[in-house]
Structure 1
Amino acid sequence: MEKQIHNENSTPPQKGAEDLTIIPDPISSPPLSSGEGPGVRLLKQYWGYDNFRGIQEDIINSIGEDKDTLGLMPTGGGKSITFQVPALAKEGLCLVVTPLIALMKDQVQNLKKRGIKALAIYSGMSRQEILTTLENCIFGNYKFLYISPERLDTEIFRTKLQKMKISMITVDESHCISQWGYDFRPAYLKIAEIRDILPDVPVLALTATATPEVVKDIQARLRFRKENVFRMSFERRNLAYIVRNTDNKTGELLHILRRMPGSAIIYVRNRRRTKEIAELLHNEHITADFYHAGLDDATKDIRQQRWQTGESRVIVATNAFGMGIDKPDVRIVIHLDLPDSIEAYFQEAGRAGRDGEKAYAVILYSRSDKTTLHKRIPDTFPEKDYIRQVYEHLQYYYQMAMGDGQGCIREFNIEDFCRKFKYFPVPVDSALKILTQAGYLEYTDEQDNASRLKFSIQRDELYRLRGMGEETDRLIQIILRSYTGLFTDHAFISEELLAARAGLTRKQIYEQLVRLAKLRIVSYIPRKKTPYIIYTRERIETRHLQIPPGVYEERKKRYEKRIEAMLDYVTNDTVCRSRMLLRYFGESNGHDCGQCDTCISLRNRQSADKRPAKELFGEILQILSEQEMTPAALAEKMPGGKEALTEALHLLLEEGKIIAANGMLQIKK
């Protein structure tokens, strides 16, 4: 079953549709029908709107009837409403699986501010923090638990899950479960195993980007009891898609930003380039910040906040930026580098104009981009012998004996590894991801690990210390009041929390802790971002390592196909860009957008074709005075408006200025 609903106005969600106001105890009334059903009552009472928008109500009613449901909604379509309303109306806890740690933290914080009981489990939490969170889910009458897919496979989670009353499972970014999708994440495959533990609990899958093939695959992978899809039109009528061919991208970028007022996002391919472009804009007196996954959380939050409030006009970012960020008044999204798929581009471009006002999505394209994009194929799918070699060198790196390794977890410094074995980081990263998909190991992205602290001296020695200074003595007292077990083991700490309680800055707290560590009073491990290698099976001989076609050849072929689709999009100059994007996602569209660069160019060409017929008289008579010719030959001599030429010839024939004899046009003598 697939229900497609055309979004007539293609406007973004109603203001507030991603947030919740204070909700009291959940309403346990079935079903969430239209009219004055509990779903509408919740929306009206706490959001202040009389009706749902687009397909929100259809999805809510479907999941409210305990049907497995897939919702396809473009960026800004109001996805959160579709699981928050039914979860509040159902008895029990909604399990929300999402790969976006920043998004889950943000949504949990917003829910808590408004009195909704919500929790999250993500990397960087201690075992005790995770255990406490899970116990609260069992006994604390919570309504939402956000969790990253990697955490679903842990023994502690699966044990505690069986004691929870789960009302529904929400799978955000559900395209990540499909190996045919552009952003496949193996950890998503664990979600289907959760259904074995919770066989009667319905699943709501949500995504903003999925081709027809991926739509079917999502439902199969999540073991839908029956196909059930609701699709909102992906058309964005207020968004103009533009491709500019230029060999001077920075000059064109500055030209656009000076002409176009308002907030902007600029997407580039790598971290170094984010900083370079931000500095360029600063030098041109355009306020800008840069953003990428390598920044610490505090820096990300500050820069995001400056951009959200308008203090910085432009954010220059990698694809790490944007998910879950609701800024409705972005007037322009510019891609300086080409994404490697239409899916990624559509999602990033869709962050412009979520307020329904006119906005632009611009790609700056040069001829060298085609070569760069094709180079990503061997970088993303290195040769199998190369992958085997990386696997072998990984064993040398960790001094892993044959047959050992299963269950081992190791921090992984990719720069150090590449330096020792003379590799480049990008293909090594790809090789490890392919080995992950082939089942030999699990290679995590950078995990944000909280700072840890332990006292290196005994409590009585600490009390005998003198002369540390009033500020340091006060900090030690605050640490002892804030955390327990510091004399026996490292505990996770928050410099931000200590700074707030001590009335100092985070930097001052850091400097104090470093000083205490140098004096060997504490052992201090600052927060760091660390990828991990987790061995999912024992080390095997390289010659026995198998990389199946489904992991390599088939995925490589689809990756090449996505790159060609992206190149077709930017090199096209005859088909409406909006129509091209919609067609890619399986949506037929009967009209051109009229505002993309292709539509404008075609319209201008047609206008040029519509020269008044009488303006052509002199040109026609001049050509025929030199020699007689057929109408087709005359048309070749006068490229452009064929309609105008035909009309001019008819008028000249009627007026007797030319005659047609034996198929040849000539001047009447």
Structure 2
Amino acid sequence: MSSEALLILQKYWKHDKFRQPQEQIIQNVLEGKDTLALLPTGGGKSICFQVPGMMLNGICLVISPLIALIKDQVENLEKKNIKAIALLGGISQNETSDLLDNCEFGNYKFLYLSPERLQQDWILERIKKLPINLIAIDEAHCVSQWGHDFRPAYLKINVLKQHFNKTPFIALTASATSRVQKDIIENLKLENVSTYTSSFKRENLSYYVVQTEDKLYKIEQILNKNKQSSIIYVRNRRSCIETSENLNKLGFSSTFYHGGLSVKDKNSNMKKWMNNECQAMVATNAFGMGIDKPDVKTVIHIQLPENIENYYQEAGRAGRNEEKAFAILITSPGDIEIAKNQFIEVLPNKAFLKDVYHKLNSFFQIAYGEGYNFNFSFNLNHFCSQYKLPVMKTYNALQFLDRQSIISLSTEFTEKTSIQFILESKEIIRYMSLHKNEEDIITNILRTYTGIFDIETNINTVLIAKKSNVSEKEVVKTLENLEKSGCIIISKLNNDSSITFNEIREDDLTINRVSKYLENQNNLKKNQFKEVIHYIKNEECKTNFILNYFDEKTDEKCGICSYCISLKKTDNTLIQNQIIKLLEKEAPISSREIENQLTFSTKEILSALQVLLESEKIKINNINQYTLI
């Protein structure tokens, strides 16, 4: 096994060797055993199912809740000439059926889908006919209501066990407490499961909490001291752009990334940063999916994170080349109150959730008992403005509906198609008589958008595809033909996001079914934020705090975090003062000469020298002699 797996890793992923414990996990999967893998962010979870998926005959079924992650992994596999398909929401039944035909007869190796898709009986029946060689459940903590992102749809995944009882299952997550691990095993009905964990400790990563009134000045100091690649995380798009502009004014090369950028701008800004054409990437939490830049020296947060899970994941993008790196959280006295308003005060209760759900259906004119698999372009600010709703609280309500699988909310950039017929209706009828294969599509457009001859009108190509019982590609092709023939004009407008309705509209019945989870999730978020406050305020080793948070118990201090450095400064102040006095008289001198003249041990002197260097009180020349700055 080892040689074949290694050859696949080298050929497709260009890595020389596996990380621990990837090889053991892959071996366990190849032996047909159920597996639970807890690997921290950057630990290479996808390798653990993609390599055995390539080795086994048949197709690997991958279940993931994140549309962006599914798209990213499928695109990366296709770039490696590995055949992969994603079943995403908002496509017609015919097109979905065609994709499943491709899986059955087209020699595909990976099929990605959301857990909501498994709740559709006809899709489940089609999947049962496929030669599934492995079932991978990504973000497996979503199966536990004690996990930080519980999704009830995950509870239905275990129906696959009834049919694929001899197929190995692998559940993967970056973070799960012992309680959540137990839920994963029980709720997914994993049998004789082997659990593999990788330590959350990053030996090369120093965690710093820095208090300051002037965050921009502190960033300037950090970037001047560490001139390699960096990421600066902020909370919103405005702060993203402003911080990047301020850094550029200070002479740093900086770009930015947020969810509202076009795909073209995202790729362009990403390319600059990945190619080291600019030092700093200022980003919201939309940045990070599939990012693997090994030489990131610093990850800086200038606002408090929502929870330790997110912070650990984002901070962990520093130092993946195993060289010394820094995760720095910069805080000011008012940050806690600001973050409470951002995270806690905007949590929706049941009444607010009902109100948003009702208005969302009204906004898209969905009748009671309808709406299943309808997909719409969506502008959150426009929706909130129309109904006078608070934006962040509304967004949290929509996110909850997304996690409960009632809707799928994509915050990726989308393009909204706007058209207007510019020929008279009799000419359009003549066109349809000459193009019978496009007649249904055009007829449905005219029936759905009655004023389309008078004004430019936004149209939903997915909805037209559904009504015409064709693929969205066929709708787009028809529009292109109409434009070429001079029948219509087409515009494409930028849009913030899209929404797919995963259930028919049932008003209070829908919300009453899921509201029992709302209080649990709100309490969980409040407790998670309390841990963030503890992280920045408590006088303790920052590495230990993170390890203990993830149930990796340890009392041994890391020695390199901001707290441990502060202890060193306290413990050897006397030694530092004597070194400074010596340097005032005799600099430049080596550490051995310092040791010969002072009565402290080598270890104590080297520790004091390190603190003085880091606090920029002394410097070292190219022949390892020390002088005062």
| TM-score bin (small chain) | 0.7 to 0.9
Deviation at 1:450, TM superposition (A): 6.5
Q: Which residue of 2 aligns with 1:210?
A: 176
The answer to whether the Cα contact below 8 Å between 1:583 and 1:589 also exists between their aligned partners in 2 is yes
Residue in 1 that maps onto 2:544: 579
Please state if 1:356 is matched with 2:325. no
User: Which of 220, 240, 263 is the aligned partner of 1:274?
Assistant: 240
> 529-538 or 204-213: which moved more?
529-538
The whole-number CA distance in structure 1 between the counterparts of 2:475 and 2:225 is: 44
Residue equivalent to 2:567: 602
Please, what is the CA RMSD of the aligned residues?
Answer: 3.7
1:57 aligns with 2:5: no
What does the per-residue CA deviation read over 1:574-595, in whole Å, with 9 as the maximum and x for residues that have no partner? x211111111111123522111
Larger displacement relative to structure 2 (91-100 or 577-586): 91-100
Measure how far apart 1:306 and its partner are: 1.8
2: CA distance between counterparts of 1:204 and 1:259? 43
Cα distance in 1, alignment partners of residues 486 and 119 from structure 2: 41
SS at match of 2:259: coil
Kindly state the Cα deviation for residue 571 of structure 1 after the two structures are TM-superposed: 1.0
Q: For 1:361, what is the secondary structure of its paired residue?
A: strand
State the SS of the aligned residue for 1:330: coil
2:207 paired residue among 233, 237, 241: 241
Task: Tell me whether 1:521 sits opposite 2:502 in the alignment.
Answer: no
CA contact (8 A) 1:438 1:547 kept: no
Give the superposition deviation at 1:143.
1.5
Q: Secondary structure at the match of 1:492?
A: helix
Q: Describe the shift of the 1:560–1:48 C-alpha distance in structure 2 as closer, same or farther (beyond 3 A).
A: closer
2:226 aligned partner: 260
- For the residues of structure 1 that align with 2:418 and 2:123, how far apart are their CA atoms? 26
Alignment of 1:92-131 (within 5 A): 92-123=58-89, 130-131=96-97
Residue 442 of structure 1 corresponds to 407
> 1:313-350: per-residue Cα shift (whole Å, max 9, x none)?
22111111112211111111000111111111001100
Distance 1:517 1:45, change over 3 A: closer
Mapping of residues 91-490 of structure 1, within 5 Å: 91-123=57-89, 130-154=96-120, 157-394=123-360, 396-397=362-363, 404-405=369-370, 407=372, 409=374, 411=376, 412-435=378-401, 441-442=406-407, 444-446=409-411, 458=431
Q: Please tell me the residue identity of whatever aligns with 1:347.
A: Q
Which string of whole-angstrom CA distances, capped at 9 and with x for unpartnered residues, describes residues 234-264 of structure 1? 1101111111001211221122112211111
The 10-residue stretch of structure 1 (351-360 or 544-553) with the greater mean CA deviation from structure 2: 544-553
Q: Measure, in 2, the Cα distance between the counterparts of 1:94 and 1:443.
A: 24
Task: Please tell me whether the aligned partners of residues 298 and 328 of structure 2 are also in contact (alpha carbons under 8 angstroms).
Answer: yes
Alpha-carbon offset, residue 132 of structure 1: 3.4
**TM superposition score normalised by structure 1:** 0.71
Matching of residue 569 in structure 1 with residue 535 in structure 2: yes
Report the CA distance shift for 1:211/1:422 in structure 2 as closer, same or farther (over 3 A): same
In structure 2, stretches of 5+ residues that fail to align are 422-427, 436-464, 579-629
5+ residue gaps, structure 1, are 1-31, 463-484, 499-511, 614-669
- 1:176, 1:184 within 8 Å by CA — same for their partners in 2? yes
3-state SS, counterpart of residue 168 of structure 1 = strand
Distance in 2 separating the partners of 1:73 and 1:551: 27
**How far, CA to CA, are the matches of 2:100 and 2:494 in structure 1?**
24
Amino acid paired to 2:181: V
Taking structure 2 as the reference length, what is the TM-score of the superposition? 0.75
3-state SS of the aligned residue for 1:243? strand
**Structure number with bigger Rg:** 1
- SS of the residue corresponding to residue 556 of structure 2 reads coil
CA contact (8 A) 1:336 1:363 kept: yes
Task: Write out per-residue CA displacement over residues 390-411 of structure 1, whole angstroms, 9 at most, x where no aligned residue.
Answer: 344445545666x544637363
For residues 311 and 157 of structure 1, the distance between their equivalents in structure 2, rounded to whole angstroms, comes to 46
Paired with 1:578 and 1:182, the residues of 2 have a C-alpha distance of: 21
Cα pair 2:259 2:412 within 8 Å, conserved: no
Amino acid at match of 1:594: G
User: Residue 546 of structure 1 is aligned with which of 499, 508, 512?
Assistant: 512
| Residues 344, 526 of structure 2: 8 Å contact kept | no
Give the number of equivalent residue pairs.
Answer: 536
After TM superposition, give the deviation of residue 459 of structure 1 in Å: 8.2
Q: Quote the Cα distance in structure 2 between the aligned partners of 1:296 and 1:375.
A: 29
1:591 is the counterpart of 2:550? no
- Is the 1:379–1:426 contact (alpha carbons within 8 Å) kept by the matching residues of 2? no
1:68 alignment partner, one of 34, 39, 42: 34
* 1:610 positional shift: 6.3
- The answer to whether the 8 A contact 1:278-1:316 is kept is yes
1:559 correspondence with 2:525: yes
Distance 1:437 1:112 in 2: 28
SS of equivalent residue, structure 2 residue 527:
helix
Report the Cα distance in structure 2 between the residues aligned to 1:338 and 1:580, rounded to whole angstroms.
16
Contact 2:227 2:279 in 1 (8 A): no
Preserved contact between residue 358 and residue 507 of structure 2 (Cα < 8 Å)? no
Aligned equivalent of 2:499, options 532, 540, 548: 532
Shift in CA distance, 520/305, structure 1 to aligned 2, threshold 3 Å: same
CA distance in 1, matches of 2:12, 2:381: 50
Contact 1:454 1:491 in 2 (8 A): no
* Residues in 2 aligned to 1:113 and 1:410: alpha-carbon distance in whole angstroms: 28
The one-letter code matched in structure 1 to 2:306 is D
Match for residue 492 of structure 1 among 428, 450, 473: 473
CA distance in structure 2 between the partners assigned to 1:125 and 1:278 by the alignment: 38
CA distance in 2, matches of 1:516, 1:141: 37
1:292-313 superposed Cα distances (whole Å, 9 cap, x missing partner): 2222323222222221111232
